[in-house]
Copies of this chain bind each other. A is one copy, B any other.
Amino acid sequence: MKACVLYSGGKDSSLIAVVLKNLGYEVELVTVNFGIYPSWKSAANSSSNLGFKHRILNAEPNVLKSAVNTIIRDGFPNNGINQVHKYSLEHAAKNYPLVADGTRRDDRVPKLDLNEVRSFEDRNNVEYINLGGFGHKSINHLSKTLFEVKKELTSMENNSDYEIEIRYLISELEGDELAFKIFPEHLQSRVIGWRENE
């Protein structure tokens, strides 16, 4: 059975991909792109280094624009990012019988609550799987065991989170200052391959 993992190249989405592959699913790593900025490249590299099939799922720029409006109005990114994530899940569900993402037990955003998950599965006749059974300690431990991980400051080139296209559009519309206020520079972990001993 085919399984789509919404993929950023980070350790969470890499780990759920491994969990599903180990269970026998035919996993495809999918990065949604809204045509604003080619932010999928870093995820495609991580995917290729892990030996997974990677696909770009092209999506409506208007969805991102609407989320950016929400974020500019709110002054913080959470609601807008949830908007984009929910759209991405629905979009992926048109093409796959199973859609997964790296949402973990302790995550707050992006995250569907239990009623949203059930509604998503029922409306789309799809299965949804995430890392909801795993806490941060276990994920950090597993990530160290399985993956070669690079820790670095986020940039436009090394990150495939929704954040990148959103930030790009905010910069265009309102300037860099607001973009950096809403998304301050931060350290990220990017999976760059399997650990040698694996």
Contact = CB atoms under 8 A, between A and B. Distances in A.
Interface in A69-86: none
Contact of A129 (B23, B114, B133): B133
Bin the interface of chain A by size.
20 to 34
Contacts of A146: 23-24
A61 B169 CA distance: 63
Interface string A6-50: 000000000010110011100000000000000000000000000
A146 B132 CA distance: 22
Contacts of A19: 19, 22-23
A135 interface: yes
Nearest to A16: B133
A138 B132 CA distance: 14
Contacts of A130: 133
Interface string A112-141: 001001100100000111111111011001
A13 B131 CA distance: 17
Interface string A81-116: 000000000000000001000010100000000100
B135 A127 contact: yes
Contacts of A173: none
Nearest to A15: B23
B1 A141 contact: yes
Given A22-B22, A127-B141, A129-B138, 12 more contacts: A16-B133, A19-B22, A19-B23, A22-B23, A23-B142, A103-B133, A105-B132, A118-B135, A129-B134, A129-B135, A131-B133, A132-B133
Interface of A: 1, 16, 18-19, 22-24, 98, 103, 105, 114, 117-118, 121, 127-135, 137-138, 141-142, 145-146
